[in-house]
Structure 1
Amino acid sequence: MLAVLRREVADPRGRPGLDADRTGPGRDAVPAYPFAPPPAERFPAYLRPLERAAAVGALAVMSEEWQFEPAPVRSRPDREAVLADARTLLDRYGPDAEYWTNAVAAGSGPAPDFVAAGLRGTASYTFLTGAYVNGLDLCDDLGLIAVSADEVGVFWSVGAC
């Protein structure tokens, strides 16, 4: 997972990733920008397991805006389509995949209702850098990690103040 956050590995299936800031100025200041993940030995303090349904909800709410969301997933007319898209993305990892999140709510159990809480209502143990780069102060994040026998998928939503 650290290698993925640091963009040190390519997609094992050769598919291109979505990484608009791969060569951005933030990467000059902080090589893993926007991340500053803890060392691997600290992951148990920051990551919690999720059931698949909760992972779907977490991924779905990542489509929301951090600031001033006009239509949270829970109230959208296309809610079921957003959830179906999230299921499709996670299907890549197969039926035996395990899911992990940095969401604080998952500390009380592996099935928090992310859709009901919404992105803005979901606190997390941050994996973000505290560096102030190009006028951006990164203040919110929600991460989802999918782990299969063959690969690791990392999905992250980052909010800037």
Structure 2
Amino acid sequence: MSKRGAEQVMVTLQGEWFQAEDIPDFAEREAELASHARVILARFGEDALFFTNAATARQNPHADMYSREGAYEGFTGHVMDCGVIALSATEVGVFWGFTID
């Protein structure tokens, strides 16, 4: 997935069911939330690779993950889980959210 897509998925982790429209005041906070995600992902450098369990990203690595459609392929036994794996030459980061229902 693209770095931009990884940033967007990290932002959607703030919303119920990992949807941007479920983040309170998203329109007003979008730039701030995206900036925070960029700071975190910058740690992994320009050559980092990003992965997610969002089916949309598999079909289109440059998809807009704020308006994505489709499911997340869960890694756990929870109702839904979603996240980003960031990979650099020296480090791996996992940023994940879970919906327990």
TM-score range, shorter chain: 0.7 to 0.9
Q: 1:66–1:151: structure 2 CA closer, same or farther, 3 Å change rule?
A: same
Per-residue CA shift, 1:90-142, capped at 9, x if unaligned? 0110111000111111121211211123xxx551111003xxxxxxxx20111
Query: What one-letter code is carried by the residue in structure 1 that aligns with 2:40?
Result: L
Residue ranges of structure 2 left out of the alignment (5+ in a row): none
- Count of aligned pairs between the two proteins: 100
Sequence identity (%) = 30
Partner of 2:75: 127
Residues 1:79 and 2:30 aligned together? yes
User: What TM-score comes out, normalization by structure 2 length?
Assistant: 0.86
Partner of 2:60: 109
8 Å contact kept, 1:122–1:142: no
User: What TM-score comes out, normalization by structure 1 length?
Assistant: 0.56
Between the aligned partners of 1:73 and 1:57, the Cα distance in structure 2 is 16
Residues 1:141 and 2:67 aligned together? no
Residues 1:98 and 2:49 aligned together? yes
Residue ranges of structure 1 left out of the alignment (5+ in a row): 1-49, 130-137
